[in-house]
Amino acid sequence: MELRVLNKEGKVVERLTLEESELEVNHHLLFMSVKSFLDNQRLGTAKTKSRGEVRGGGRKPWRQKGTGRARHGTIRSPIWKGGGVVFGPTPRSFYHALNKKEKRVSVRQALANKIQAGKLVLVDSLDLELAKTKEAKSLLNTLGVGGKALVVPTQTKEMVKRAFTNLPRVKVLPADSLNAYWALWADWVILEKEGFLWLWGVESDA
């Protein structure tokens, strides 16, 4: 399969060849990668009080026998209004780690998914002369990109980040911060050629 490398005018300046076997997608690994990312965003601070933590209820509401009512030992029992909560949430960690190889491969799998869908755009360079939103929007239009877009420069580029910041549904991430979640989140992924080769595990000739 051929991938075209475009310049900022939208013209093809190079073509990369990928084997079909390289584009096979492991959906379970993608699922685990996305789940890990989302789990790690959770604070895990939800907390309810059990019957032992609710204030009050030290005195027996009424005597055990002779009233005709059900027996109770405390008004903080879970069956009473204002009582404790049974099996409620307590602070916990939702952290779920992936090893380095799984993280690296999952990113490559997510990019393969975009390639198969025809939603990955390779450019020779994302360098902008001015950090202007107008220039960033013009580049997206030239490349034929719409909807949610992920812009991935090879390295952190302040001009690129500032130019795209004000555009809705556009996120900028350097190649070394890319993960499967953001790659799958976007409708389109725009990658610099050098960054793509690094993520794909291919040495650049440059």
Domains of the chain in start order, with CATH, are 2-43+94-200 (3.40.1370.10), 48-88 (no CATH)
Reference 201, options 117, 99, 101; nearest CA is: 101
| Percent of the chain whose pLDDT exceeds 70 | 98
pLDDT for position 121: 95
Q: How many CA atoms lie within 13 A of 7 on its CB side?
A: 5
Enumerate residues 6+ apart whose C-beta is below 8 A from 48.
Answer: 84, 85, 88, 89, 90
Q: In whole angstroms, how far apart are CA 81 and each of 75, 76, 87, 89, 192?
A: 8, 8, 16, 18, 60
pLDDT for position 206: 41
Strands across the sheet containing 12-17: 12-17, 2-6, 120-123, 188-192, 149-152, 170-172
Residues 135-156 have a mean pLDDT of: 92
Residues 45-60 have a mean pLDDT of: 93
* Band of pLDDT at residue 205, cut at 50, 70 and 90: very low
Q: Is the pTM of this model over 0.85?
A: no
